Amino acid sequence: MDLTFETNEDFDSLQIYIAGIIGGIPIQFKMQSDDVCDYKAKCPIKKGEQNKIKLEFPIKSQYPKISLKVQVQLLTPKPDPSKPDQKGGTVLCVVFPAQIVY
């Protein structure tokens, strides 16, 4: 999946948070990295410049074939890096319907 975005501020990098929303409950999808620079973004991210990240979601055969919503957020860096569950401020949030197929 390609995600094109533009920010209204400069950032050295942004974090990415992805969740599947099933029955109204967000379930985080762990990626290999939470740094958008690792997904082919042009970093540092410049205000007003169009940028693109490329995301791939490996679908395992044990995942149920269901319809769900996917939430993708781009976030500012965590205020306290020692707290792994803490998220930064939201720069972009998009939710779209998806279906698991294989």
Binned at pLDDT 50, 70 and 90, residue 59 comes out as confident
| pLDDT reading at 87 higher than 80 | no
- Mean of all residue pLDDT scores within the chain: 88
Binned at pLDDT 50, 70 and 90, residue 58 comes out as confident
Stated pTM of the model: 0.82
CA distance to 50, 57, 60, 72, per residue, from 37 (Å):
14, 17, 25, 15
Structure-derived torsion over alpha carbons of residues 30, 36, 38, 40, reported in degrees to the nearest 10: 130
Tokens matching residue 28? 């985080």
Could you give the domains of the chain?
Answer: 2-99 (2.60.40.770)
CA distance 25 to 67: 13
CA distance 47 to 45: 7
